[in-house]
Chain A
């Protein structure tokens, strides 16, 4: 009896919810449709416009989209584009890169390099402060760099960026040498002495990279495990501060840092960031006026390439076919490799399939990356096209190769990524190769990124679509990939001449930048005479950028965007 009553009550309750929710839903509907009906669409547009204006009125405020959350703001722990982007905007190292990617003064005002290029003495400015008022001193750099390579920290980029560059960095990381032995010392509060492991001509630009930022020891230790997990547990010394941020936040702001030593140069008051991953949503937000910059995915390029705000910015990542000489004996034959590297139409690939502003790559070092010392000419332009699409030459090499091998057909596997664009690209490449090279059968294997890395490490592939982005401003970041038994070679390429040229560039020629570049030219040439890899394209990003954004520079490495010199065009 009791239970029956309960059941009735429940049924009644459900019914009530039905009614209440129903009327609630109704009134909302009417409300919203009222605004829609009574006021015309025009009014709504006005409302939106007013809203955006209200936010920006009288202020230099920008609204931009970020592709994802910021996984880490800890300079020692950051490994990704977004971490380095916001570390770069909120912190300052010894130097900062300007519009032309030339290092300009940051915390350091100048430096002296010893004759042998092994000891760098930096003079620091005395007026730089942390956002808690403490001065930024040489001790902050010593602490941060030691922390980056200390095995207790477990940093990935610390040993990667500093190993082989700063004296004892690798040894400290493996625990063979105490952390105090790292080649960085504070002579006094404002003089930093760095001893290198090898002469490193690009060290100046390297110091602008996130991993090399200073850290305030007292603050970091006080925060302990909470350090860099939210705005409150961060200290800033850069042009902006990061506000309203926690590690999983999907919205945050860069706000002008009034205590930055060069605050008068910084014009933008605030840059709001929101995380949006869906490309069509990004574009709609741009059209709505909620954001001032939105990326365009390749499927949307056709629709927006005529938009007046459409901008293509080249990036410095290069993509190529890795040709594994160890698994398939046909690929150990230089003629076969030469044939493959010439047998696919790259123009059609970048224009029809990628369709996002990417450009054809005919060499390893990307365009607009490294200027040749003295002449200032771009490395790519100076080195020229080393491997182009040429079916006739390809066929010639192919037939010669088949003769040498004594076969008339070859099977091989093409390994590539499994994103939508990659799959189409892989199919296109396979089709081009088997069409242009009679007797070649290509089977496709599209796998997720992590799995591709595993297959790369175990050299379990024939051809692989792979890419590389630079970690410092020097051609060596690309050329060192193919040194015999190098950690990323993983395709069995070995040429003693190539190795010798690069070895020379890092040792005897290390202080002679002009001669180093001569070696780099020579090495790149050898690489393509051997047809070690088949260059495909250099990536670019297509975006809608509001004309009101001015002076935002895109860096070839490190923080993607440089906002220090940015301004908001008030005319817009």
Chain B
């Protein structure tokens, strides 16, 4: 063995290991961070999602300054108070005589986190009459940044919950179909095919039509999640069935059966664990798909309603021509899912490679 080569191999192997770990860890940490911020939206967002600053409709993103109008440098970032120009709805002028520094942990609108912890203390903000609209405002003067964070609670968690629901249902039905085979398998798979062919969009419209007018935001959220989840369980079910079908003929399973193991025992002890990695990968693939489904439904007005935001219903405002051509910041909710999807896809790819290498 050439020691020189050996050293190079060792370096390469270390680099590869680091590369793999990084590829696996960055999306995980990124997603954890994003979800944490979204859960803590009430604290991180400077305003409530429904606070209307009616003097500031379609205000562009607030400019953060370090240098004031007189050219003096400040270490603490600040904003100037802005006022709408006379006879113009959406033109603003900054008042150099009124400066407001960014404050940490100021008092603001009341919010609740996870339905339990209630507070009025926010991560950052500016004192009135200044405003801090990091991503501008919509036509009602509502802060787009705050709404984007709150909107993520709907969009991200709808995707996540629907994926968990789909994976669980898929595991149950796919496992039974793969294990018992025969008529049960046929019935389960035909049932799954029916669900694959269901036009989910029309299903949602039909379900909405049957519900009473006054459904709470929670009900609307659950409705969206259920429809996405119900329609989405069939693909994981077919995948699980395939894994079980091949695994049940493997020697260790046959041996266990020979020792008198029951089907339930085999499923629980030997077969289900084999499906977990596949199912995890499938979930990571499904989550962005389901987030997108929620965004589309809300975009079309079939998701959660005003004043509650979701990434879809925020983007829906850009359907109006004047918004599209005049207020670029209204398109930002369309960009929000991009890094999240990228992280999920990167995670899915890494997981898939790991499964392949293990096989």
Tell me, yes or no, whether A binds B.
no
